[in-house]
Amino acid sequence: MGKLGFGDPSKSDLWKAVQTWRDDSETWIEAAESRLSETLRVNPLREDQEWVRGILHSLGGKPIDWLPEGGGGQGWVMPWPRGKWPSNDAKILLCGLHDSGRITRQEAVSMIPVKLLDCKAGHHVLDMCGAPGSKSTQLCEAIDDEGVVVANESNPGRANLLVSNSKRVGLTSMIIIRHDGRHLPRCPNPGFDRILVDAPCSGSGTTRKNPELWEKWTERAGRKLNPLQVALVRKGAMLLAPGGKMVYSTCSMDPIENEAVVAEILRTCEFLKLVETEIDEKCPGLISRDGMSTWPNPNQKNGEKERVSDGDEKVLLPPEETEIAAALPLCRRIWSDENDSGGFFVAAFKHVGGGEVAEALMPTSEMAERPVSEPPPPTKNHELPATSELLEAIFAEWGADYEKKFIRGSKIYTISDEIHDWFWAGERMLRRGGKLPGCHWHPFQVIQAGLPTWEIRKGILQRPTSKGMHITGEKLSSRVHEIDADLLKEILLKGGPEKEDAAETISTIGDESSGGIVLRFNHEGVMWWLPAWLGGRLTLMLPDCERTLLTYALGLEVGL
């Protein structure tokens, strides 16, 4: 530990705690300081994913055996520590792949919870603690971007990170909402098919990327967070549809934040059952340990009992109930020294209760008696359905035929069918009884739904956005022109040619009106859809990350 400048391990509260959590704690301390390798996952939604894997291989990357394809992307490890780039070209390429949404740089163990949820296309999924968005975007990949992932974050700044990541990956199935997760509104029936509660925690499993924990972590950290963690999981349980699955996870190794939370949920939610995580099937080769059934009394310090209420003490102590204690080994602990990874905890629940809807959505006699209410009127900040006139304008100019588009400000959004049919149009129950008809967002505070795919300026439709080109390009039948490699190289190296000069290579451009167009470039089996602007010159409208990758594909220096 001295090599990181954090003193003697024997004086660290975290080291003392680990000694009570593991009999063989010495093997953990030997690996708990070494820096993590750079890890990432490949976006399975992109058609050029094989090309991306080729780039990763060329940089020395290898697939992680226990993070196979399926369940939200294949995990990869690169041959260098996190942030310690072997060359500037490697940094430029990997950042270009990440910024363009083709990969997501993410700690390997952080990918495990989504793998265990076993999401399917069309599922309604809730990510209760979504920011910064690695798991939320992975959930959208796991449902093939066909369904809905409601990503919640209470902090406004962190919610903006969710928006940025959703756009980066190019997702149509994500709704970003901002609520205290303990008080989430009621969703449409029957509730969520899958729920992820990756709860705020003390992070004791993250020493390999957060070495400051050696000094900052205290034994009181888990005790303070336990009530919040229990409340979040309990709320998730209430919104889980019958037969649905919920995964609770933390990057903490403290049983107060893990098994104690699971025990309290089993104690208070009789309709939930702790089930096998199926970690050996979903993450083959990953080494994990059983959950703990006993742990030290956290209310004892230096042999004296601290002042806590009887109720608090019971929640923090190992369960006295034989059935609960016997179930806790179904939880799984992933230790950093056993997988060359960070540390993690996961537990899986299944709704085994009766009924046809989630517990929070159960109808009451009071609800039946109250009339259908009217939602509050929308504001200028709400995304609302695009008018038929706007959809007709897109078809007339670009040949793209749409039925479901939403608009806010200068952006037109593409949303998944399930966002529209279930979350937007679905009837929902009010917290105090009664019903609300569909076709609104209330009572959810929606920050963004779907992906902005078109731009409007001064009331006039301009062009498709670069972030949505992988979705929009194939729908276009007008204003699309084939371009060859020689002209593309010329544009990248020297800038766009005059319109007349471009028309000598792209004959269809000669009669094209000025404005936004799309260039189609097929290179070695990879289709590129390139937004451009045609005025006096032909100009590519590419973000830096796409320009970098196109430059690399054409065999030019990536630093250009």
Catalytic residues: 251
Q: How far apart are CA 527 and CA 72, in angstroms?
A: 23
Instruction: Give buried/exposed letters for 263-288 (b at 16+ CB in 10 A, else e).
Output: bbbbeebebbebeebebeebbeebeb
Nearest residue to 28 (alpha-carbon basis) of 361, 305, 461, 333: 333
Q: How far apart are CA 163 and CA 231, in angstroms?
A: 25
How many Å is the maximal CA-CA distance in the chain? 87
**E strand segments, 207-326:** 240-250, 272-275, 289-290, 300-301, 304-305
Q: How far apart are CA 47 and CA 64, in angstroms?
A: 21
User: Helix 259-268 crosses helix 220-238 at what angle (to 10 degrees)?
Assistant: 40
**E strand segments, 21-166:** 37-42, 62-63, 74-81, 103-105, 124-127, 148-152
Are 77 and 37 a contacting pair, CB within 8 Å? yes
Structure tokens at 11: 């004086």
Q: How far apart are CA 127 and CA 131, in angstroms?
A: 9
Structure tokens at 278: 């199926």
Q: How far apart are CA 542 and CA 560, in angstroms?
A: 14
Amino acid at 355: G
Q: How far apart are CA 374 and CA 401, in angstroms?
A: 32
Tabulate helix, strand, coil % of the chain (nearest 5). 35, 25, 40
The DSSP secondary-structure symbol of 508 reads G
Q: How far apart are CA 271 and CA 492, in angstroms?
A: 60
Neighbours of 139 (CB within 10 A): 31
